[in-house]
Structure 1
């Protein structure tokens, strides 16, 4: 379980996040959705302790994010930000192996190599594992970074817009991979998404955020409605019944 209690963050006098009180249950996929600038990525990075809190507390699996030792927290929660990617002369396998650093400090054992191979296979990267990152497309690199996070083998996985740079087919595949990770690997996945229909199709819970505050939190059936989405995104949204559930139409 991830629990946020009275969490706030301010940037000057213009931007204010919170106060946010939120409980994300263990297991499944929780999607953070909302307009640009709503505070989705900020909340995610605070959960992963890449950004400090001004006030309040965040606990993950009972561990206080602010006070838990980094070496211990890195075995509980992993995070991938969209802006901290780098392209260098690393192979895919070398990149994915970085996910084992909290355990090995760079000295991989046979078991670590097995976990790295498993993450590579999970993201369908076996045919690319010896390619350098600068030889890959943006979508292939994105999958490699997600594989790195999965190889960290944490119960909680935080992903900031992992569908960036992915085309329609790869976006569907990525969400299917993450759904499998939640179900088969028993990971709790918290993900920032811009596509509300992907959230409605694959998330178990949706947290709708606007102006730095949680507007609604619940299952897709509660969030994917015309009134809720129209309020959150400040634009008319119609919800129709699709082949796999409700679909938001906003164009």
Structure 2
């Protein structure tokens, strides 16, 4: 379970995350949504210790992320950032092998090789394992980065806008893979999303942020409602349902 308590981050006089206290459930998929500048990515960066907090605490299964050693934390939590570009010319297999670094510090053993092969296969990249990243499509490259994160074999997987620069087909494929990882591998997947439809279709729990605070949170069905979403995004949002099943969210 991830618990944040009064987590705060400011830049000068601008408070980007303002005293956020949250309990994120263990297991399943949790999506963090909200308008641009709501503090979503900053919050995720502080949860994963990529960014320091000005105030507050974050614990993961009781471990204080600010005080836990990097080796211990890296075996519990993995993160895929937005800016996941690599300047080195690496193959898919090279990239995915980085996920084993917390365990063997680059000295790969037979067990690591099994984890690497499994992660590559899980993301349907086996045929591309020897290809260089700059030879892949955007969707294939993003799958390779997710394979690296899964290869780290952590209970918690955090992803900051993993659908960026993906077309509809590849975005849907990515969300299906993340849903599958939560269901089949028992991962707790927490991701920042801009697309409300994808959040509604694939999430168990949704956290909505606005102006650096938590505006609302709860099960997807409770959150994907016109009265909730319209207030968060400050615009008229409609939810289309047939027989009680959510079909789409659109703006009108």
Q: Secondary structure at the match of 2:93?
A: helix
Partner residue in 2 for 1:85? 85
Partner residue in 1 for 2:216? 216
* TM-score, normalising length: structure 2: 0.97
Question: 4+ runs of 1 displaced by more than 4 Å?
Answer: none
Partner residue in 1 for 2:249? 248
Measure the CA separation in 1 of the matches of 2:164 and 2:216: 25
Where structure 2 has 5 or more consecutive residues not aligned to the other structure, the ranges are none
Partner residue in 1 for 2:50? 50
Measure the CA separation in 2 of the matches of 1:131 and 1:239: 42
Partner residue in 1 for 2:5? 5
CA RMSD of aligned residues (A): 1.2
Measure the CA separation in 2 of the matches of 1:121 and 1:227: 42
Where structure 1 has 5 or more consecutive residues not aligned to the other structure, the ranges are none
Partner residue in 2 for 1:120? 120
Equivalences, count: 251
Measure the CA separation in 2 of the matches of 1:246 and 1:216: 21
Measure the CA separation in 2 of the matches of 1:242 and 1:180: 25
**How far apart are 1:85 and its partner, in Å?**
2.3
Higher mean alpha-carbon deviation, 94-103 vs 236-245, is at: 236-245
Measure the CA separation in 2 of the matches of 1:97 and 1:127: 16
Task: Write out aligned runs for 1:30-49 (5 A).
Answer: 30-49=30-49
Task: Write out aligned runs for 1:146-185 (5 A).
Answer: 146-185=146-185
Q: Secondary structure at the match of 1:42?
A: helix
